[in-house]
Structure 1
């Protein structure tokens, strides 16, 4: 196995105590040796190791900044891989904008189904219909997936092709999640081939990403095992499963953190993923109080996707099989119910999103040892809609400061393709909490750059002896002081990655 010797690197301090005093880490460059996937020596002027059966690759960091590699803790990898091939509707603002874009695509490519992604109907002033989509698409199948992934606007041809009941409204939540895997019958699977996955992972590696947690629909671990021969050793992957495949996972004896059979140590079993409520955009996130536009809604405060008893049954089964649980909960009622289920069953794992929380529930999350897996870039998209339909409750949204201060383990992700798979965007959003010239949105909940970085490295400490050989070498200091949070966020978003190392192997190089 090749060893890696990095020379003249400044270590990024991930704890306040690492950056204090005359011996502060990062003050002087050091050499770092990685052997068999682990950092074995750190210090100035390390000798090149001799003996052994492997080669030693030397890289001069030239004073660049070295840190643990970055993770995206919440990705839908197939959807992210497909996103580049889809009709981008992220800039649309009205239903008419969307139908105009669809008409243009159908005219340009009349023989190809249209799969769109990114429209956000939460701010629209009316409900859309299948009929108006039919009017611009004819017999070309059209499936338009909302930017939060929780509903889709299909035309009649697509509904029939996917064997769904014909209706004049969008397809939401559980019904949509069930039909999503059948999209392959419309567009084929070239977009999610092993080669396409490898390109996506290479793009992530160029951003300093060394690992992802994949919550894609489908067979999860089994799907990854089939494609792993095409992407071995590129990045670490934790592959989650959903309840419909839990029996298969249990029968195979897979446990969270365990390498998948015959796949090596980088591909491991993740969590059981449960979607306990909906989303803000669709007004299906389950809240303790009604939405601001509740008069428009069938369920004024949203609703759970499964009962408390069903939730507890899932958690108990997973816990008994040594599987952690990742519970999607966006509304405050959903967060409270999820925490009650964790407490009742003893299950371990995370709340995914935790977008609106009660103050006491954050404390309970800490007491139970449940991770908060959050996506800071969502606050950039959801700011205005949240103010409109949750009002003063926005003070309890994306409450990162509460979480850290109360001792909750905080990890950052993207929910790609809902937000881009870009850890620098996530960190910048957590630090500055604004995407435009406005002041930070509830800046009292912001993180420091050091806190955001520490929440992006899968719990790894400042690089030292015993650290995993998953490293990122940066062209600038990510923790440099700036006059304002806006400038700090801009610096993070523009960060340049010189080298990405996974398990001691260089997977991206821009030196």
Structure 2
């Protein structure tokens, strides 16, 4: 409820434009409130929801005959009906994504290439299609999304693969991997960054038999590469691309998982210029080589009309499973020479986590391997003794592979598991080879996490996976690829780990109310209730009812923030 406001107030006293958004069949609006209510109408005044209910009841409360009212010099259309079959859900949220990185990958997307040569050809074609780039061999060529696990070859790509092409040869080329844990670079880019150290804590410089860099840098070693600083125009272009695509898939709020100083400064500047076009919950990147700053920097909460909050810190514990950097208790099944690695020493985690919690910061830790998750939970357990967990809401980002005991501990401690279902249907094709038939059962075990009492929230990790939140919804409830396949057949990969549609949207609000809880905004976002901000999405069909194989055919008709349309078609209005 808005302070000092009663929703039975006469419309004559309402100064802001208002309207009712209604379905014609008595339901169709999923409020995602505590009772999982479906209703017929929500009434919106300005930026807020001021009433919900059946049309006849809403009409009685606002005007015994009609909702039409002269509230400005011109009549305002006040009842807006959904097209038949359409439904309304709260504005969708992505609990783990990378906004500016997504914009960067869209310049030269490498997702879906089938071979190294196919990828090189895409880079060459990009150069040829951009005259400014083609005519200046000193300009950096940037792209991302390549996935070596999808290529019919073992091992990493090399600089030589890029340099073999006469159009590419001699240019600085930097290509980010699909999981963002590896860079594939040209010889020119390497030479400009030399000399490299022999070893890198928390990272790997892939070398040949005589010790020369081959052109791939893993995890912390990526930081060794010297790249040109991004201009304001570069950042703005990336941001606009990401926001445009986000609105098109129904996203109104994004948790940006790791804002480096330049990105954070950019978002602050944008917020200072006016309302950001999307809500950003930013996780500030933790640099273990920098002095502790948690007691010096003041968190930002709800800046720019509740559009920007940065009250959390993002810490990387280990690498990624796809690139073999996830830290495991036992060696990789397909590479027994390694157990992966920690990107941070455990004593750093035990030192900084309690400090950040003490100074009022939410702590979000990237942990993928079972050993990394165990160590991080050890640090959380030690840090949370006597603490108000609801007040701090610590998060495990990814929580991909966990032992059964650690899943139970996760629930007992109240640590939020921020998971990405589309990772499961991407990784299921190679996961058993990498982990073995027994250990793989603890990978992406969403049902086990929920049954252990853990609170989970859904994200995509875009640009690593599809930005579309319905892809995550589909993956969570089916555990099959978009074409209905899995290593275990059409019933799903480890189908016992599926979650229900009610859990994904309504019952626990994984795409709506739980992301709001995980970002401390559940009082203003995440459900369509009186007093909350009017962020909503109109879907072309009811994803709670259609057959599973039709979920991904759902389109976003309209995305609205603060009651105003930011994407899609106008909703049918009756005057």
So what's the TM-score if we normalise by structure 1? 0.86
Find the counterpart in structure 2 of residue 485 from structure 1. none
Match of 1:425 in 2: 471
On the 8 A contact 1:277/1:304 being kept in 2, the answer is yes
- Distance, in Å, in 1 between the alignment partners of 2:315 and 2:471 is 26
Name which of 306, 314, 318 aligns with 2:352.
314
Number of aligned pairs? 485
CA offset digits 1:329-366 (Å, max 9, x no partner): 11111111111111111264211111111112111111
Between the aligned partners of 2:78 and 2:173, the Cα distance in structure 1 is 52
Aligned partners of 1:431 and 1:446 also within 8 Å:
yes
| Post-superposition CA distance 1:122-145 (Å, at most 9, x none) | 464133333333333321111121
Compared CA separation, residues 236 and 437, structure 1 to 2 (3 A): closer
1:390 aligns with 2:438: no
- Corresponding residue of 1:213: 255
Relative distance call for 1:158 and 1:59 in structure 2 (3 A) is farther
**Paired position in structure 1 for 2:270:** 227
SS at match of 2:249: coil
Aligned to 1:120: 147
**Structure 1: runs of 5+ lacking an equivalent:** 20-24, 483-487
Note the 1:18-97 alignment, pairs <5 A.
18=36, 25-26=38-39, 29=40, 31-35=41-45, 37-43=47-53, 44-45=55-56, 46=58, 47=62, 48=67, 58-62=78-82, 64-86=86-108, 88-97=109-118
- Which residue of the partner structure matches residue 242 of structure 1? 285
1:138 aligns with 2:174: no
Could you tell me which runs of 5 or more consecutive residues in structure 2 were left unpaired when the two chains were aligned.
1-14, 197-211, 385-391, 515-521, 571-575
> Residues of 2 paired with 1:104 and 1:491: CA distance?
35
| Preserved contact between residue 4 and residue 33 of structure 1 (Cα < 8 Å) | yes
How far 1:419 moved relative to its partner? Answer: 0.8
How far off its partner does 1:465 sit?
2.6
Distance in 2 (alpha carbons) for counterparts of 1:362 and 1:73: 20
Pairing 1:353-372 to 2, within 5 Å after superposition = 353-372=398-417
In structure 1, distance between residues paired with 2:276 and 2:219: 35
Tell me if the contact between 2:422 and 2:471 (Cα under 8 Å) persists in the aligned partners. Answer: yes
- Separation (CA, whole Å) in 2 of partners of 1:395 and 1:387: 9
Q: Map residues 275-290 of structure 1 onto 2, 5 A cutoff.
A: 275-290=316-331
Q: Equivalent residues in 2 for 1:342-357 (5 A)?
A: 342-346=380-384, 348-357=393-402
| Equivalence for 2:420 | 375
Name the structure 1 match of 2:364. Answer: 326
SS of the residue corresponding to residue 215 of structure 1 reads: strand
Please say if 1:411 is aligned against 2:457.
yes
Q: 1:409 to 1:168 in 2, by over 3 A?
A: same
- Shift of residue 481 of structure 1? 4.8
| Alpha-carbon offset, residue 327 of structure 1 | 0.6
Asked whether the 8 Å contact 2:107–2:143 carries over to 1, the reply is: no
Secondary structure of 1:491's partner? helix
Residues in 1 aligned to 2:530 and 2:33: alpha-carbon distance in whole angstroms: 16
State the alpha-carbon separation in 2 of the partners of residues 190 and 407 from structure 1. Answer: 46
Which structure 2 residues correspond to residues 153-302 of structure 1 after superposition, within 5 A?
A: 153-162=184-193, 165=196, 167-176=213-222, 178-179=223-224, 183-185=227-229, 190-193=233-236, 196-219=238-261, 220-229=263-272, 232-244=275-287, 247=292, 250-254=295-299, 258-260=301-303, 263-295=304-336, 297=337, 300-302=338-340
**Aligned pairs for 1:457-468 within 5 A:** 457-459=512-514, 463-468=528-533
Question: Could you tell me which of 173, 178, 184 is aligned with 1:147?
Answer: 178
Distance 1:508 1:345, change over 3 A: same
Measured after TM superposition, the shift of residue 52 of structure 1 is: 8.7
User: In the aligned structure 1, how far is the partner of 2:254 from the partner of 2:93?
Assistant: 6
